[in-house]
Amino acid sequence: MKRVAFLLKVKQDKIAEYKEHHKKVWPEMLDALHRTGWHNYSLFLRDDGLLFGYFEADASFQASLDGMAREEVNQRWQDFMAPYFEGVGLHADQMMVELEEVFHLD
């Protein structure tokens, strides 16, 4: 398993709504994440909208993103969630930049 971390920015005026949507992620989206190798996936949100994401990938971050890009439900979810993120015209999964792991304690 490859540990993957990334940062995104949620618009401050949309934080409450963003949290609500993640209390009830669509079941078909959850199934797609499992199918495409996203394990132990967590999102952490700071009060200013800074979002830290972590998951464990079967192969790599890019392979996981590529797998989700082939899932129809992912396109619908990304369209639905796009207004919540800072960024110009991109979906969140197009703005994710993998953070370099510099330390790990098992």
User: Could you give the residue numbers annotated as active site?
Assistant: 22
User: H-helix or E-strand containing 3?
Assistant: strand 2-9
d(CA 26, CA 75): 13
Pull the structure tokens for residue 24.
Answer: 């009830």
Pull the structure tokens for residue 44.
Answer: 């952490």
